[in-house]
Amino acid sequence: MGHSHITIHKKAFRPYLSVAQLDEAVTALAARLNADYAGREPLFVVVLTGAFMFASDLLKHITEPCEIVFIRVASYEGTGSSGVVQEIMGLREEVQGRHLIIVEDIVDTGTTMHHLVPKLQANGPASVEIATLFFKPESLRHKIDLRYVALEIPNDFVVGYGLDYDGLGRNLPDVYVAV
């Protein structure tokens, strides 16, 4: 990986995780999923946009028959008491009775997953689990069941490997952290 700092939108980042380190963590997570979902034909629900690179690498290592769908989650400031209203776009597959695995880039406060999981549960799947590339345990503000985490990281802002800083940086093969 590059050994020097990079600048995105005038913000400095330093190298944090290399392609090799990411590959090792993603491969290990895929091995766990292969073991746990053997014979269950899971439906991977990839959350765009941040998870695209992680999902691509993870799914190449899935050796069990599976289906893959891409969704987008739109958040609105609602007028109701809940504050945030979430809508799932792109889920046309029948999820009734299926084993769903949400593929997410990062669980930070947990707000996204806190709203998404019950929405998916409402469609009657056999099970719903979350597979996330990154998890920031220090930031978590909701009680969520996280069974599949590739890497736990400190509460710092990261960019690269699909994750962006204000729209930029998703294309970087390595991950950088704000300095």
Residue of 23, 57, 105, 108 with catalytic role = 108
Compute the least distance from the CB of residue 74 to ligand IMP, in Å. Answer: 13
174 is a site residue for ligand IMP (CB under 6 A): no
86 binds ligand IMP (CB under 6 A): no
Phi (first) and psi of residue 119, to 5 degrees: -65, -40
**Is 103 or 106 the residue whose CB approaches ligand IMP more closely?**
106
The residue from 16, 37, 42, 110 that contacts ligand IMP (CB under 6 A) is: 110
CB of 105 or CB of 174, closer to ligand IMP: 105
158 lies in the binding site for ligand IMP (CB under 6 A): yes
Alpha carbons 86 and 77: distance in angstroms, whole number: 9
What are the structure tokens assigned to 155, written together? 């509460």
Residues 17-56 that bind ligand IMP (CB under 6 A): 50
The stretch near ligand IMP (CB under 6 A) out of 15-23, 27-35, 36-44, 154-162 is 154-162
